[in-house]
């Protein structure tokens, strides 16, 4: 795992043999929809697990059958916000790690001509102050969709924000660093080479929504 903090955005690249193995399956153009969904679920569970590496916990005592043991409990249950469609494929995995999380939804589709985010759903509580929020989206390309989602969360008072992504482009990371979201944590499986002229990540894995669910 590598870690870097720049301009207030903390970037953690989860570089583990198993994340690389699952990511290779996702990248492979021969992987069909079913196998893609399965590999995404497995990789997401590892990424979400890493995203909670430094979560706040309450120290508690646990009564075992033998004695009292020191233990820990996550202080504040998180909220998961998958960005539709592609982020839906990460939600069950996130809930496997933290089953008592709250859940919100944001739907954003990228305009194919302009690559700008177009919002079609924001199902979020009005007040997110004090609520740790974990945004789930496999792809960080231009960063437009993620920044739009972070803006929606910040408008509702959320300040403890983490993005969990599978693969990103340096251009997307730079956009986050140039955004208003100074304390953001980004946990990501890989940062690839660049964006192409169609704003696709190179080498990337194609379109994670299409590869799970078929073309829109
Ligand atoms: C993809 C992806 C991200 C976004 C990334 O979604 O899942 O949400 O694009 O691109 P950006 O960083 O340039 O905004 P897409 O618009 O293809 O929608 P889908 O998930 O419904 O397929």
Model confidence band, residue 27 (pLDDT cutoffs 50, 70, 90): very high
Q: Tell which residue, 108, 115, 119, 86, has the closest CA to residue 200.
A: 115
Q: Is 144 annotated to bind ligand?
A: yes
Residue-wise pLDDT for 6-26, tens only, equals 458 999 999 999 999 999 999
Ligand 1 contact, 117 CB (< 6 A): yes
Q: Tell which residue, 83, 181, 79, 64, has the closest CA to residue 140.
A: 83
Residue-wise pLDDT for 181-209, tens only, equals 999 999 999 999 999 999 999 999 999 99
> Which is more confident, 6 or 177?
177
Average pLDDT over residues 115-139: 96
Residue 116 has pLDDT above 60, yes or no: yes
pLDDT at 30: 98
pLDDT at 1: 47
Residue 186 Cα distances to 6, 90, 103, 158, 166, angstroms: 11, 15, 19, 16, 10
pLDDT at 2: 47
Residue 130 has pLDDT above 80, yes or no: yes
Residue 142 has pLDDT above 60, yes or no: yes
Model confidence band, residue 212 (pLDDT cutoffs 50, 70, 90): very high
ipTM for the assembly: 0.98
Identify whether the C-beta of residue 91 lies closer than 8 Å to the C-beta of residue 103. Answer: yes
The minimum-distance atom of ligand 1 relative to the CA of 199 is 13
Per the prediction, the chain carries an average pLDDT of 95
The three-point CA angle 144-178-136 to 5° equals: 45
Bridge partners (DSSP) listed for residue 202: 194
Identify whether the C-beta of residue 80 lies closer than 8 Å to the C-beta of residue 134. Answer: yes
Q: Name the closest-CA residue to atom 22, ligand 1.
A: 209
CA–CA gap between residue 215 and residue 25 (Å, rounded): 20
| pLDDT cut 90: percent of the chain above it | 91
Residue-wise pLDDT for 63-103, tens only, equals 999 999 999 999 999 999 999 999 999 999 999 999 999 99
Centre of ligand 1 to C-alpha 21, Å, is 23
Q: Cis (ω within 30 of 0) for the bond into 203?
A: yes
Q: Is 214 annotated to bind ligand?
A: no
Q: Which sequence spans correspond to the domains of the chain?
A: 2-213
pLDDT at 110: 85
The fold for domain 2-213 equals Rossmann fold (3.40.50)
């Amino acid at each position: 795992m590598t870690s870097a903090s720049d301009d207030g955005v903390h970037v953690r690249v989860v570089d583990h043999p198993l994340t690389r193995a699952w990511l290779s399956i996702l990248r492979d153009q021969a992987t069909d929809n079913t196998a893609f969904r399965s590999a995404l679920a497995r990789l997401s569970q590892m990424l979400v697990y890493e995203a909670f590496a430094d979560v706040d916990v309450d120290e508690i005592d646990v009564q075992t059958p033998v004695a009292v043991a020191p233990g820990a409990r996550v202080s504040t249950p998180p909220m998961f916000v998958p960005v539709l469609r592609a982020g839906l494929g990460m939600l069950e995995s996130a809930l496997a790690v933290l089953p008592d999380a709250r859940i919100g939804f944001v739907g954003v589709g990228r305009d194919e001509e302009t690559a700008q985010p177009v919002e079609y759903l924001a199902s979020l509580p009005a007040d997110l102050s004090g609520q740790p929020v974990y945004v789930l989206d496999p792809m960080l390309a231009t960063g437009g969709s993620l920044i739009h989602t972070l803006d929606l969360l910040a408008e509702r008072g959320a300040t403890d924000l983490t993005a969990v992504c599978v693969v990103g482009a340096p251009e997307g990371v730079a956009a986050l660093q140039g955004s208003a979201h100074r304390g953001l944590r980004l946990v990501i499986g890989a940062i690839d080479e660049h964006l192409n002229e169609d704003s696709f990540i190179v080498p990337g894995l194609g379109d994670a929504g299409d590869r799970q669910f078929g073309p829109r």
